[in-house]
Amino acid sequence: MPILSLSKSTVLLFVFSFCLMACGKKAKAESADQLVNDNSKDSTSAIVVAANRTAEYLPLLDQKKVGIVANQTSVIFHKTGHTHLVDSLLARDVDIKVVFAPEHGFRGKADAGELVSDGVDTKTSLPIISLYGKNKKPTKEQLAGLDVVVFDIQDVGTRFYTYIATLQLVMEACAEIGTPVLVLDRPNPNGHYVDGPTMEAEHTGFLGMTTIPLVYGMTIGEYAQMINSEKWLEGDKQADLTIIPLANYTHKSEYHLPIRPSPNLPNDTAITLYPSLGLLEGTNINAGRGTEFQFQRYGASFLDSTKYEFHYTPKPNFGSKHPKENGLTTYGMDLSNSTRMHTVSLAWLLDAYTNCPDKSLFFKTNSFTKHVGTATLQKQIESGMTESEIKATWQSDLENFQKIRKRYLIYD
């Protein structure tokens, strides 16, 4: 045998070289594992997002053709920062075929309401299919050949924030052809309360597809369960749904988003004020778009300037190419020092309306009803009802929703 003719030193060198190669492969594998699941050794008190819990879902993607609904918030955290879920899964040889992008796009740079085009991701060369362009619901052709669709997007728990509408339409499309849906859960920074007007069925649309309150107090995984079991999908269909839960999360947890979930929600203050100041989106009042304090201030040039000490001038910027009151001096209030909200406030909406001398300038035609999901609120404001009187009319619907919500909660 040839190997018998080798010297002892040659054999030892061969064995040593083989061990080095094996260790190198092991180190590479460990490096890849760390890239995807570095938070696995976090302290028991730290919230662990589902994307980091790779042991729970990687086996479900093995040997599968995968589609991913994702944006800039779809990341896996590690000690030195974060890595995008798509990049992390590709590093683990997950067979990703296509990425579906919601409002604001895959990289989260498009303005609110701006159509997002199909394209190709320059980093991975994966095809990007927009769910905020020609169609908001994936077509059968776009889903063809996929074995599973993964949904991983950071929500902020407010009905008119469109990511939950995208979730519902993705589930509906997958249910129609039997494609499983895997939701990687993320914390809801407004998940500690339920409040606001309930969507009226006749006003449902992409800003609210179901009859839920403005603030619904559920993670996106919990809400997916509600959509499915309440049979809110078209034709009463149900998706083949799997939720990968968070670790160490409760609805009382405070969660600080490390990445802005959309261009005009830059920080915790904007996110906590969003349910309340978002009510101004259906009016002609500027809610901070076109400044660096989006959803932390409001104002308009046509408000009574004698009532306000604060003023600012909106100008085009990241996320707002055409802000309301563009280039005009707007009079209103600075709310950038606000603390965490526990209710929806009508105070600022009512303040702006009260201090608008020409009431015909206030509401956008049909837009306010479309945005808040009810025709009742505008009538209540115009009739002079107080905040407490208006909020009293919400209570019955809120109590009914709480009973339904309780059935689908994953976390305390």
Query: Model confidence over 319-371: pLDDT tens digits?
Result: 899 999 999 999 999 999 999 999 999 999 999 999 999 999 999 988 999 99
Residue 52 and residue 246: Cα distance in Å, rounded? 9
Q: Which residue has the higher pLDDT, 182 or 4?
A: 182
> Residue 112 has what pLDDT?
61
The CATH 3.40.50.12170 portion of the chain extends over 50-257
> Is the pLDDT assigned to residue 7 strictly greater than 90?
no
Average pLDDT, the chain: 89
CATH of domain 50-257: 3.40.50.12170
| Dihedral angle computed from the Cα positions of residues 336, 342, 343 and 348, in that order, rounded to the nearest 10 degrees | -10
Q: Which residues pair with 317 in a beta bridge?
A: 320
pTM of this prediction?
Answer: 0.87
Q: What value does the mean pLDDT take over residues 242-259?
A: 96
CB atoms within 10 A of CB 120: 11
How would DSSP label each residue in 340-398?
--SS---HHHHHHHHT-SSGGGTBPTTHHHHHHS-SHHHHHHHTT--HHHHHHTTHHHH
Query: Considering Cα of 370, then 303, then 320, then 82, what sign does the dihedral take?
Result: negative
Residue 197 and residue 194: Cα distance in Å, rounded? 10
Lowest mean pLDDT among 95-109, 166-180, 269-283, 398-412: 95-109
Which residues are CB-neighbours of 216 under 8 A, at least 6 positions away? Answer: 157, 159, 194, 223, 401, 405
Two tokens at 121? Answer: 């991701």
CB 85 within 8 A of CB 51: yes
Q: Which residue has the higher pLDDT, 28 or 81?
A: 81
Lowest mean pLDDT among 10-24, 107-121, 138-152, 162-176: 10-24
Residue 333 and residue 331: Cα distance in Å, rounded? 7
pLDDT band at 113 (very low <50, low <70, confident <90, very high): low
Counting residues of the chain whose pLDDT is more than 90, the rounded percentage is 82
pLDDT band at 101 (very low <50, low <70, confident <90, very high): very high
> Residue 115 has what pLDDT?
63
> Is the pLDDT assigned to residue 110 strictly greater than 50?
yes
> Residue 119 has what pLDDT?
87
Q: What value does the mean pLDDT take over residues 397-402?
A: 98
